[in-house]
Structure 1
Amino acid sequence: MCLKYSEQDTRAKFIDPQLKQDEWDEDFIIREYFFTAGRKLSGNRRGKQLYVDYLLKYNNTPLAIIEAKRYDKEPTHGLQQAIDYAQKLKVDTVFSTNGKKIYEFSLTTGRGKFIDNYPTPQSLYNSKFSTNKNLKAELHKIPFYLTGSMKPRYYQDIAVREVMDAIADNQQRILLTLATGTGKTFIAFQITYKLFTARWNVDGVHRRPRILFLADRNILADQAINTFNPLEKDLIKINGDEIRSRNGQVPTNANVFFAIYQAIAEKENIGGYYRQYPPDFFDLIIIDECHRGAANENGSWRDILTYFSSAVHLGLTATPKRSDNIDTYNYFGKPVYEYSLKDGINDGFLTPYKVKRIRTNIDEYIPTKDDIIISGEIEDKIYNLSDFEKKIVVEDRTELIAQGILANIQEMDKTIIFCVNQSHALMMRDAINKYKNVSDPHYCVRITSDEGDIGKTLLEKFQDNDKDIPTILTSSQMLTTGVDAKSVKNVVLVRVINSIVEFKQIVGRGTRVIEGKDFFTIIDFTGATNLFYDDAWDGLPEAPPEMIVIKDEDDIEPIPNSPIEKPVDEEEEPDYAETDVDFQIEETSKKEKIVVKLKNGRNLKITDVEVRYVGDDGRPLTVSEFLDKLTLFLPNLFNSEEQLRELWSKPETRDELLAKLGQLGFDSEQLGTLKEMFEAEQSDIFDLLAFLSYNKNIISRVQRADATRAHAEFFNGYENQKAQEFLYFILERYKKDGIEELKRDKLSELIQLNGLGTTNDAAKVFGNVDNLITAFYRLQEVMYKAVS
């Protein structure tokens, strides 16, 4: 006889007792372990969270997962999904069971077999860790340092564990590659805390290690110090003030040291302060943003690392592996763990993005005899995007772009504009302030090295999520890394970017998650977002997308003529300062730039705005991919036009259908963009779905409402004139605001807006409450049958 136990019964009656019998204590078991947050969707909603039925741990180390099935199901039903989850969790063993049989699958060997009992925790642990078991066990046993309700994310736990194992295996150079915003500094702290607590060191004696956290910018070092605060009695920052207070001697009375390499490296006629330390002083050196130069043979970082060669070198980076970054991988070797931007977005730990590629009718400049040359010597050639601001300045173009930025952002959304250089950032700030509607003088500010302490203060205010002002920052290089501003909703590119390393760092300025931020927008004026299709991005290479013209920006007024100020010297792209003060970067002068005033009456405008959304592979979808993905999934949601009409006619099933579309990556924001692509902004999403699935004509909401009014038989069924007028009122609201007016919980508000009084008053008009609700639902059925 087949017993009809539920999955919950199977767990309680069979799986749990078997685990207990096989020495798996409750402390070693996590039931229904949710390890992702669910991809962020519009409307402050989330996609599906991933979880496993059981996660088995020992010594704080995940060892296996169990896929539990109902007693009457096959024991290996769902095994493939469990294997996928195990790969994501870096777990080597999967058990799949229905309570009667246990199937064990090893990801290491790729083989499976039926077993009678679960391996004991110790035996499973020993089979996973065959080398340096004592040190690994000691490091694993030390829990994370956590306060309050804080819990590590699954990938953070993996990253720390992989580094612990590499250190225990005497690996001298270790690399972690994790996307910006995923908590690399938190990971670095937990690594330090474990080693500090275990009293690990390269000498193998019982003492606390000496650890150097090396960064290239003060803002990064200071943020790290804040994260390491629980060890504040044992940490110190090596900088000019500290060394001067010790009469030129470096501090040694700590265990955790922080420095930017410029503060301790060799300078002209000055020996490097790092040489005051014995070469074997440090046990571990953590190099933040190590792609910048730590592995460069000619870099100052490399000199420091070579000097402290006996220490373990741990590199942290968010950048991808490619030719201009290959030295980092040659130095450190293959990353012990990688967590990509697309993983962070799909898991819900990073914010998704959309791309607005904006083109203007002055993306290239051809000199004419009517234009006025204010300064410099112009050549008879075409100046393209890479020439603007470096070789030639067209102030009218800067103002056009400023207007375009303001037209494509919400007024109070925090925005960072990445400019060509400091003078361009100044011009862009002034242009934004010229056309803005907000009166606050600090609405748009420039944050570059030239701004000094004022810039630091304004940046701190911008980073404060509780402050609206400053709202827009203009910068060049200063903000590519180190800006932890969760509320950034727009990243604007007005400079050409050829380095995917730099591009990925810039994209990372918008990925941090905060309540109310469903996505951020990359607004691209220079084609930099074509780097998404580089083979160094998260996935295989593909061609740039075809152009989708979403809207014309003719409504932007022509830029009025204005006098051009005296030109400033051209600036180099700023290098990172060889000092311990970030805001003292000097820029060198180059030959005089060409400054051009366009002839009177020339009409500059934005020609098109192309909108793309990121797919599961981390790349923005082309128009064909976007449509292919949607049309591929639609047959799984309804199997006929009639079923679509039926689902859409009822508020509850309509909401369920929209929720399913959102889970697949097509929420209201994306569907709205799709409507723009088909020039159907005034239409119902229903019409778009019917068009894509059954080639039905797309009609407007006005047409649908008017066709519904023509169904006199339906309306005449309500003898009370007020009842008919109320139903007509709903149609008018639908014309204006769409399906939001047709939700069940909207009914009481519609009654008040129509002047019928309370719900009880409206019920009397229709006879009773049931009749009122029936009429509301019946109207919608008529609406979606009115036009076939």
Structure 2
Amino acid sequence: MNISEADTRAKFIDPEIQKSGWEDFVIREHYFTDGRKLLGGKRGKRLFVDYLLKYKNVNLAIIEAKRFDKHPTEGLQQAIGYAEKLKVNYVYSTNGKKIYEFDLTTGKGDYIDSFPKPDEIYKRSFDNLTPEKENLLSVPFYLTGDKQPRYYQENAVNKAIEAIANKEDRILLTLATGTGKTFIAFQIVYKLFQKRWNLDNAERRPKILILADRNILADQAINTFNDPFEKDLVKIDGSEIKARNGQVPTNAHIFFAIYQAISEKENIGGYYKQYPADFFDLVIIDECHRGSANEEGSWREILDYFGSTVHLGLTATPKRKDNVDTYQYFGKPVYEYSLKDGINDGYLSPYKVKKIRTNIDSYIYTKDDVVLEGEVEYKKVYKKKDFNKTIIIPKQIDLVAQALLDNINPMEKTIVFCVDQPHALNIRDAINKHKKIADPNYCVRVTSDEGKEGRDLLERFQDNDKDIPVILTSSQMLTTGVDARNVRNIVLVREVNSMVEFKQIVGRGTRLFEGKDFFTIIDFSEEASEKFYDPEWDGLPEEEETGNTGGNTGGGGGNSGGDTGGEPPIVDPPPRPEKIVIELSNGRKLKVIDVETRYIDENGLPLTTKQFLEKLIGFIPDLYDSDAQLRKLWSKPETRDELLQKLADSGIDEEQLESLKILFDAKESDIFDILMHISYTNDIITRKQRAETTRENEPFFEVYENLKARDFLKFILERYEQDGIKELKREKLANLVELNNLGTTKDAAKVFGGLQKLVDAFYKIQELLYAS
């Protein structure tokens, strides 16, 4: 019986769904990702399930629908992968005749007579389904406008709620920077509020403390929580406490604070101690990797005091040796969403890496050089990691600034991470020396020394409606808390020793913005971008790591003085011996010797050109199996686009393909010829040669008696020579007609003897262009 999949669903699967009581709890064709961002505003393949079964606001199962004449479990493996992403335990695969149930918790499957009823799957989906858990999970998300939660946000909220209902008191959520951790925290709090959850089981709303280590983070959270909690929240800071004659506020339900405002300071007791130890039901710690769980950290003293409270930590940083204490304290994350997942799902911006090498990656003093300051060690090799820490070479700084400007578009928002605050000043001055944009605030330094003026410039940089400032130079201040969605370049002119810090720095560029297809990490250092190859760069927590290896920065932040609750001091490394300043001899010419671009594959690894080529060669057999098939696919705009889309879906986009032209010294050639060369060792010819051969095909042109028609077809070849295959898209036809002064498409159709003949000619000339 030849029945389409749509008919199979309508006639056989939908009735079974209704019969099992799912009609009001099913979402058909549920798309749950946006598709990886590609060049030109395009998107990769969006993931979707045929049916999502959702009951009491919890995703429970998916149904994979197959055509009536297909095997019922065809496509099951893909559906299992989708179920793992959606965190559902059951997959049903059916062709309308038979139903197959697969249980992800046991890894087993079998045929069943009918779909289980909603309540049955719901009860089977939880190990310990208490009334409290069911009550909390059933609360729908608080949403305004057309905003909908992303699938991983639902997963994170529900996993945290389950942990709270299971009476767990130390809970961790690990999600990549830019994935909406504040939104997740808000929805958790909203659910708890709606059901009046608290540790006393009393008839009251919970008391919740939300801790951050930056005012900017606390204020961002307050803005998110303000609706609908405006009357229920308060910020614990110096002005609030002063207004209450030195007493902390207690008449609220949601309390925001940065730990510097409430922790103990020199000669001043911590304000947090004015609260009873059991005052709060829940403490949420934002960016908890920054020292909250470190036994020597200032956050830890607050957590210890409120030790009987549920502690929920939020972090973007997976387990590393330099913050293993976070995982010892909270335990394994109840949910984790990686940078790689965020990029592949289309919720974070992809990136590429440019590694720039110069001919002064090390330095040995010679008598022709002049020591302007300090004492140089003779015969010592000063390595790149020593630059601007112990030795300053102004010409090297100048070279870096010039190379930086040469490798970015002038108006792309850029953050430059420097060795320290003086280095950030020197880099800023060098950029201002070589920039082509006249605005005095084109490049500015934003460090703690800049004070309010620096914070004002940072706010302007974050404002996506403002073009200026374009470039910020900094050292430590901008590694976290900078929500600037339009950052296009992250520049490293220093080593990054901490994986935690490296991940935070990269996170400054991951946020999406309209027209932003990717961001670029420009690395002038020796080793920073090599951290991408660390197996733990974007991996899962490793349970075998034990022992407290000491936390990240965040401890000792309580010595800022006063009770204003201002930003924590950004502390640069301890004072070092006087730096050496060297003026190179006039005979020493500095230059960039190599700029290597590495593209990121679907696993998050930067690929060298060789690795990229090997990947492409390995993928080719899935695309075409002969040179004749490749010619046929490439000759038609629609099938050519489909082929390019398949490449893009696997992490090979048009820009990467263009880079192969450089590799083969074939900038004036067609991607088609590169693929033919890689696949079948054909000679690479230029677009000009290909167009000339087509022009010489006199029998083709003689078919068209009207000379204007012949001229138009030759004009298409000229445009192809200049701009390549983008001029051969079907939607380009009307534009080509206009550029050739043929008038409208209707006018051009008359020249060819009809619209269909015009279209046929447009397709035929492409067929000839790629003929053997």
Q: TM-score, normalised by structure 2?
A: 0.93
**After the TM superposition, which residues 699-710 of structure 1 pair with which residues of structure 2 at under 5 Å, given as runs?**
699-710=685-696
Native 8 Å contact 1:449 1:582 kept in 2: no
CA deviations over 1:122-145 (Å, ceiling 9, x no partner): 222222234251110110111111
Change in 2 beyond 3 A, CA 1:172/1:754: same
Native 8 Å contact 2:72 2:95 kept in 1: yes
Corresponding position of 1:119: 116
Q: What is the identity, as a one-letter code, of the residue corresponding to 1:362? A: I
Structure 1 residue 736 corresponds to structure 2 residue 734: no
Q: What is the identity, as a one-letter code, of the residue corresponding to 1:120? A: K
**After the TM superposition, which residues 26-45 of structure 1 pair with which residues of structure 2 at under 5 Å, given as runs?**
26=24, 28-45=25-42
**After the TM superposition, which residues 63-462 of structure 1 pair with which residues of structure 2 at under 5 Å, given as runs?**
63-131=60-128, 133-230=130-227, 231-380=229-378, 381-462=380-461
Between the aligned partners of 1:680 and 1:455, the Cα distance in structure 2 is 47
Q: Unpaired segments of 5 or more residues in structure 1?
A: 542-571
**After the TM superposition, which residues 463-478 of structure 1 pair with which residues of structure 2 at under 5 Å, given as runs?**
463-478=462-477
Between the aligned partners of 1:113 and 1:734, the Cα distance in structure 2 is 56
Change in 2 beyond 3 A, CA 1:738/1:19: closer
**After the TM superposition, which residues 361-760 of structure 1 pair with which residues of structure 2 at under 5 Å, given as runs?**
361-380=359-378, 381-526=380-525, 527-539=527-539, 578-579=559-560, 580-582=565-567, 585=570, 589-715=575-701, 722-759=708-745
Deviation at 1:276, TM superposition (A): 1.2
Deviation at 1:390, TM superposition (A): 1.0
Q: What is the identity, as a one-letter code, of the residue corresponding to 2:73? A: T
Between the aligned partners of 1:251 and 1:354, the Cα distance in structure 2 is 48
Deviation at 1:724, TM superposition (A): 4.4
Change in 2 beyond 3 A, CA 1:11/1:745: closer
CA deviations over 1:163-193 (Å, ceiling 9, x no partner): 1111111111011111001111110111111
- Choose 428-437 or 635-644, whichever is displaced more: 635-644
Native 8 Å contact 1:452 1:584 kept in 2: no
Q: What is the identity, as a one-letter code, of the residue corresponding to 1:15? A: I
DSSP-derived class of the 2:206 partner: coil
Between the aligned partners of 1:665 and 1:637, the Cα distance in structure 2 is 14
Q: What is the identity, as a one-letter code, of the residue corresponding to 2:436? A: N
Q: What is the identity, as a one-letter code, of the residue corresponding to 2:765? A: L
Between the aligned partners of 1:113 and 1:777, the Cα distance in structure 2 is 51
Between the aligned partners of 1:382 and 1:689, the Cα distance in structure 2 is 46
Deviation at 1:22, TM superposition (A): 2.3
Native 8 Å contact 1:577 1:584 kept in 2: no
Change in 2 beyond 3 A, CA 1:95/1:581: same
Between the aligned partners of 1:583 and 1:267, the Cα distance in structure 2 is 12
Native 8 Å contact 1:538 1:617 kept in 2: no
Corresponding position of 1:781: 767
Change in 2 beyond 3 A, CA 1:644/1:15: closer
Change in 2 beyond 3 A, CA 1:124/1:281: same
DSSP-derived class of the 2:383 partner: coil
Between the aligned partners of 1:742 and 1:537, the Cα distance in structure 2 is 41
Native 8 Å contact 2:670 2:686 kept in 1: yes
Change in 2 beyond 3 A, CA 1:223/1:729: same
Change in 2 beyond 3 A, CA 1:25/1:757: closer
- Choose 292-301 or 107-116, whichever is displaced more: 107-116
Between the aligned partners of 1:539 and 1:168, the Cα distance in structure 2 is 28
Percentage of identical aligned residues: 65
Between the aligned partners of 1:761 and 1:151, the Cα distance in structure 2 is 47
Deviation at 1:36, TM superposition (A): 0.9
Between the aligned partners of 2:52 and 2:540, the Cα distance in structure 1 is 33
RMSD: 2.2
DSSP-derived class of the 1:359 partner: strand
DSSP-derived class of the 1:266 partner: coil
Q: What is the identity, as a one-letter code, of the residue corresponding to 1:54? A: Y
Change in 2 beyond 3 A, CA 1:37/1:763: closer
CA deviations over 1:223-253 (Å, ceiling 9, x no partner): 1111111212111111111112222211111
Between the aligned partners of 1:779 and 1:96, the Cα distance in structure 2 is 46
Native 8 Å contact 1:614 1:621 kept in 2: yes
Between the aligned partners of 2:122 and 2:747, the Cα distance in structure 1 is 70
Corresponding position of 1:568: none
CA deviations over 1:686-739 (Å, ceiling 9, x no partner): 111101110111122233233434445545565655554444433332222222
DSSP-derived class of the 1:214 partner: strand
CA deviations over 1:73-97 (Å, ceiling 9, x no partner): 2222222111111111111111122
Deviation at 1:110, TM superposition (A): 1.4
DSSP-derived class of the 1:531 partner: helix
Change in 2 beyond 3 A, CA 1:734/1:20: closer
Between the aligned partners of 1:70 and 1:709, the Cα distance in structure 2 is 48
DSSP-derived class of the 2:362 partner: coil
Native 8 Å contact 1:214 1:285 kept in 2: yes
- Choose 89-98 or 724-733, whichever is displaced more: 724-733
Between the aligned partners of 1:574 and 1:472, the Cα distance in structure 2 is 30
Deviation at 1:590, TM superposition (A): 3.3
Q: What is the identity, as a one-letter code, of the residue corresponding to 2:44? A: G
Corresponding position of 1:565: none
DSSP-derived class of the 2:2 partner: coil
- Choose 57-66 or 636-645, whichever is displaced more: 636-645
Corresponding position of 1:12: 10
Between the aligned partners of 1:183 and 1:229, the Cα distance in structure 2 is 16
Between the aligned partners of 2:357 and 2:556, the Cα distance in structure 1 is 30
CA deviations over 1:424-481 (Å, ceiling 9, x no partner): 1111111111111111111111111111111122111111122211111111111111
Native 8 Å contact 1:450 1:583 kept in 2: no
Deviation at 1:48, TM superposition (A): 1.0
- Choose 16-25 or 508-517, whichever is displaced more: 16-25
Change in 2 beyond 3 A, CA 1:269/1:21: same
Deviation at 1:112, TM superposition (A): 1.5
Between the aligned partners of 1:522 and 1:661, the Cα distance in structure 2 is 23
Deviation at 1:502, TM superposition (A): 0.6
Deviation at 1:573, TM superposition (A): 13
Corresponding position of 1:558: none
Between the aligned partners of 1:153 and 1:576, the Cα distance in structure 2 is 35
Between the aligned partners of 2:487 and 2:78, the Cα distance in structure 1 is 35
Native 8 Å contact 2:210 2:256 kept in 1: yes
DSSP-derived class of the 2:363 partner: coil
Deviation at 1:369, TM superposition (A): 1.1
DSSP-derived class of the 1:126 partner: helix
Between the aligned partners of 2:202 and 2:319, the Cα distance in structure 1 is 37
Between the aligned partners of 1:14 and 1:783, the Cα distance in structure 2 is 48
CA deviations over 1:364-420 (Å, ceiling 9, x no partner): 112111111110111121111211111111111111111111111111111111111
Q: What is the identity, as a one-letter code, of the residue corresponding to 1:431? A: A
Between the aligned partners of 1:633 and 1:208, the Cα distance in structure 2 is 56
